[in-house]
Amino acid sequence: MKIWEWYEKVGYRKLMIIPVIILLICVSILVVQHQVTGEFIKKGMDFKGGSQLSVDVDNNVNVKDLESFLRSRFGDVEVSSAISATGRTLLIRCEENVDEDELLESLKDYGLETKSYSFQKIGASLGESFFSQSVVGITFALIFMGIVVFVVFKNFIPSLAVIFAALADMIGALSIMQVLGMELSLASFAGLLMVIGYSIDTDILLTTRVLKRREGSLRERIHKSLKTGLTMTFTTLAALIALYLGSGVRIFHEIAIVLIISLLLDIPNTYLMNLGILRWWMERKGIK
């Protein structure tokens, strides 16, 4: 059975329940996260402050073993590795008060050469300032997005459906990041901003084709919109998966995984919820 036939057989009203359930689960994850940690999202060093040492290494290093070794000396330490065209790099994140020389000396005790490295430190107040500015940026992005969408379509319900889909994509991405243990960093924040743009792109494509065009019946326009939109989504997913698997750069990994999560969530949010709201509104208005 084709997707279109299945969609019509089940009925768009029933299918609208699926994205609502997904959104409720995602919101519940964030609420539980807040109850356990005091924060809705786990912030990385960029937003909470701390120290980071990047060390180029020649050999493969047991990340978990090194992390346990450093935690015995410095407390809260996270170690990750990234592979690039120039070799392998260890990223060691720890608290703000960790001394650079002591950390380097501990790596030597572990048996690692530290000829090529970089060390950076972000104060807690500066990290909090970054986070506050990021929240303001996201808020303004959503507000101006809503204004533009309303100006284009001049109808409250279709505009609200577009904004809902973008917001649901972002909430879903943040909640799954908590499940995967991902921290909110500048890279993942950049991915969230891209989520807004891509979500609006698919929703405006759908709304424009279904609402503003008059070629064919309503069902025919919906069918064509589904084919075009899903083709765009799966093509982008293929490119992002290739980026995630083929790149050893941590920043690219974070951006790619945030966008992959969001695109997968965007499918039910756009083609079940947004389309369902749009179809219900058009049928109520007698638009064919």
Domain coverage including residue 78 = 50-122
Radius of gyration (C-alpha) of the chain in whole angstroms: 23
Distance, CA of 170 to CA of 168 (rounded, Å): 5
pTM, whole model, 2 decimals? 0.76
In this prediction, residue 179 carries a pLDDT of: 86
Which of 101, 122, 143 is at the close of a domain? 122
Which of the residues in the chain have pLDDT under 50?
none
Residues 136, 104: one domain? no
In this prediction, residue 62 carries a pLDDT of: 74
In total, how many domains does the chain have?
2
CATH number at residue 64: 3.30.70
To which H or E segment does residue 121 belong?
strand 117-122
Do 60 and 88 touch, CB atoms closer than 8 A? yes
In this prediction, residue 279 carries a pLDDT of: 81
In this prediction, residue 21 carries a pLDDT of: 92
Decide: helix, strand or coil at residue 197: helix
pLDDT in tens, 273-286: 888 888 887 777 66
Output b/e per residue, 193-225; b: 16+ Cβ within 10 A. Answer: eebbebbbbbbbebbebbbeeeeeebeebbbeb
In this prediction, residue 46 carries a pLDDT of: 67
Residues 54, 141: one domain? no
Which of 99, 122, 145 is at the close of a domain? 122
In this prediction, residue 223 carries a pLDDT of: 78
Which of 74, 93, 122 is at the close of a domain? 122
pLDDT in tens, 184-195: 777 788 888 888
pLDDT in tens, 129-183: 667 777 787 778 777 777 877 777 777 777 788 888 888 888 888 898 888 888 7
